[in-house]
Chain A
């Protein structure tokens, strides 16, 4: 991630103030004069960015930053924008941050932005202050193509999260998913906030179950071809599709290993749906499960040493884990008679899955060690296919309601839900890019 950050920033970023460079070198770099208890949020003021930047309206930039900060789960954003902009005007007029005025608004942190177009670049200079301590937390200059202004604002949001919490932000992550908006199911990719959606596949036949390759360059999925299924991978930039598997029967639920060098998937080539482990090009399939029941939907643990999967060996589909080398199988779920679609959290402690509860599919987690189950969603509408964000705090999943399926994101700490997709067509089977 550090490499991607540096690449995205380009040379300009390294000309930032020495102070910032020194701050960034120290780790962990959690700056806050206020100590927050678990679940308590920091209140942050986001005044209108100053300046003009062509296509990127300062008001839109503020709006994206504010929603990024709320989305992260760590912040409340001061809502009275008229008051915020008044104090900002005082700051500008006096040339100093009016710490007491900001504190009077209830703000604990202030983020200030100046935007301008310099040459071909959109330049955003951001300063972030700890208002209680009366000092700067960090300042940084971001340069990008004007059309990339959203990505620039997302990067600032991730920097704020990192400096104030020590956690990695998710504002620049992407989500792959399936949509039937063209009349056929195809794979799409969008930003983590539902923006910049674009179609990836053009198979014209159902494309299902996307899974990201670890280096983020490609998405693996299942498609139908020549009276059979194929496991394929599509290059995100070029759109070139390469075939991974075309075994007889199932070629489904590809899960790419954390290092990206191996796949786990479900094949029925031996006459029964079983879990197999393959090289990342689909070669050298090695069978991991044996039995006459259905073994399906493998999902790697973040350390790559175990796999979660679904088996109906008990008479109903339940969540199990096993060694990624095969063996050491252990049942995790005992509540209910229909538990499917496991997704292993990036922190390794929880597995999210779909559970049928009183006739409705809900998202639950099970603790891998204690087997404690927590039901995260309630109410009508079938929720399916959970996928974790890299922060281990957010889960994206689909909700079927009133004959239409859309994607939602849940913050597992405060259980707030945000809808990501709308408009024509169904949107389902999300996979969060790690």
Chain B
């Protein structure tokens, strides 16, 4: 653990230096939602997960928490889904007591085992993006269901595209 925290500290310092040098630091503080930092470049190690607790998560009301989708075998956030994440980030800033469970899902085509890891990467990618927009990382927890919970059980391109998703639940 000591080794972990040291590495983490080094990474934080490196990123802080990079941000300061590039001059984005001020801009981000002034207008975080409109001009996010490059969250896709953020390393997973920068954002350890918060310990589990007994929070119960429920399906959110319609409107803000739309699913976001992914290319086959990929976990990069697509540019067309960025407005959804920006809307979620804004909503979370107005509702500071709410925590979010981000579920990562895959289509049936990868191997069952690897899809479980890929689903987690999708949830983590959404989490990193929201943190980049200023949402506190300890409000965002992740779970992967791999290919266990498809929205559409059909075996065609449309169904696969719908199933490759990150889906959001909110704390009660």
Chain A residues with a Cβ under 8 A of chain B:
185, 206, 208-209, 224, 226-229, 246-250, 252-253, 266, 268-273, 287, 290, 292, 294, 296-297, 310, 316-317, 338, 340-341, 354, 361, 384-385, 428-429
Given the complex, which residues of A lie within 8 Å of B94, measured CB to CB? Answer: none
Could you pull out 9 A-B pairs where Cβ atoms are within 8 angstroms?
Answer: A206-B145, A206-B148, A249-B142, A268-B142, A271-B44, A272-B43, A273-B121, A294-B118, A296-B116
Given the complex, which residues of B lie within 8 Å of A429, measured CB to CB? Answer: 112-113
- CB-contact partner of B52 in A208, A246, A270, under 8 A: A246
Which of B18-26, B54-62, B160-168 lies on the face that meets chain A?
A: B54-62
CB nearest to A209 among chain B residues: B113
Type the 1/0 row for B140-152, where 1 means its CB is closer than 8 Å to any CB of A. 0111110010000
Docked CA distance A429–B148 (Å): 13
Is the beta-carbon distance between A287 and B117 smaller than 8 angstroms?
Answer: no
Docked CA distance A272–B51 (Å): 15
- CB-contact partner of A269 in B48, B114, B145, B169, under 8 A: B48
Is the beta-carbon distance between A271 and B111 smaller than 8 angstroms?
Answer: no
Docked CA distance A246–B112 (Å): 21
Given contacts A227-B141, A338-B73, A428-B112, contact A270 B117 (CB under 8 A): no
Most buried by A among B48, B117, B118: B117
Given contacts A270-B4, A270-B49, contact A296 B114 (CB under 8 A): yes
- CB-contact partner of B113 in A226, A271, A292, A340, under 8 A: A340
- CB-contact partner of A271 in B47, B57, B114, B144, under 8 A: B47
Docked CA distance A338–B111 (Å): 9
Given the complex, which residues of B lie within 8 Å of A228, measured CB to CB? Answer: 52, 141, 143
CB nearest to B3 among chain A residues: A287
> B23 to nearest A CB, angstroms?
24
Is the beta-carbon distance between B124 and A271 smaller than 8 angstroms?
Answer: yes
Given contacts A249-B144, A268-B49, A385-B111, 4 further A-B contacts (CB under 8 A): A228-B141, A271-B46, A292-B45, A310-B114
Is the beta-carbon distance between A248 and B141 smaller than 8 angstroms?
Answer: yes
Given the complex, which residues of A lie within 8 Å of B35, measured CB to CB? Answer: none
Is the beta-carbon distance between B116 and A271 smaller than 8 angstroms?
Answer: no
Given the complex, which residues of B lie within 8 Å of A361, measured CB to CB? Answer: 111
Is the beta-carbon distance between A294 and B113 smaller than 8 angstroms?
Answer: no
CB nearest to A266 among chain B residues: B117
Docked CA distance A428–B43 (Å): 34
> B7 to nearest A CB, angstroms?
7
Is the beta-carbon distance between A250 and B4 smaller than 8 angstroms?
Answer: no
Taking chain B's interface residues, is the majority helix, strand, or loop, or is none over half, making it mixed?
Answer: mixed
Is the beta-carbon distance between A252 and B44 smaller than 8 angstroms?
Answer: no
CB of B106 closer than 8 Å to a CB of A: no
Given the complex, which residues of B lie within 8 Å of A229, measured CB to CB? Answer: 143-144
Is the beta-carbon distance between B116 and A252 smaller than 8 angstroms?
Answer: yes
Docked CA distance A227–B53 (Å): 9
Docked CA distance A156–B61 (Å): 64
- CB-contact partner of A297 in B46, B114, B169, under 8 A: B114
Is the beta-carbon distance between A341 and B111 smaller than 8 angstroms?
Answer: yes
> B103 to nearest A CB, angstroms?
9
Given contacts A268-B120, A296-B117, contact A340 B111 (CB under 8 A): yes
> A184 to nearest B CB, angstroms?
10
Given the complex, which residues of A lie within 8 Å of B116, measured CB to CB? Answer: 208-209, 250, 252-253, 296
CB of B83 closer than 8 Å to a CB of A: no
CB nearest to A356 among chain B residues: B111
Please provide the chain B residues from 101 to 144 with a CB less than 8 Å away from any CB of chain A in the complex: 101, 110-114, 116-118, 120-121, 124, 128, 141-144
CB nearest to A246 among chain B residues: B52
Is the beta-carbon distance between A270 and B48 smaller than 8 angstroms?
Answer: yes
Given the complex, which residues of A lie within 8 Å of B110, measured CB to CB? Answer: 338, 340
Is the beta-carbon distance between A290 and B45 smaller than 8 angstroms?
Answer: yes
> B153 to nearest A CB, angstroms?
10
- CB-contact partner of A272 in B112, B124, B141, B145, under 8 A: B124
Is the beta-carbon distance between A226 and B54 smaller than 8 angstroms?
Answer: yes
Docked CA distance A354–B115 (Å): 13
> A328 to nearest B CB, angstroms?
17
Given contacts A206-B148, A250-B117, contact A227 B143 (CB under 8 A): yes
- CB-contact partner of A294 in B4, B49, B121, under 8 A: B121
> B22 to nearest A CB, angstroms?
20
Given the complex, which residues of B lie within 8 Å of A271, measured CB to CB? Answer: 43-49, 124, 128
Please provide the chain B residues from 4 to 58 with a CB less than 8 Å away from any CB of chain A in the complex: 4, 7, 43-52, 54-57
Given the complex, which residues of A lie within 8 Å of B44, measured CB to CB? Answer: 268, 270-273, 292
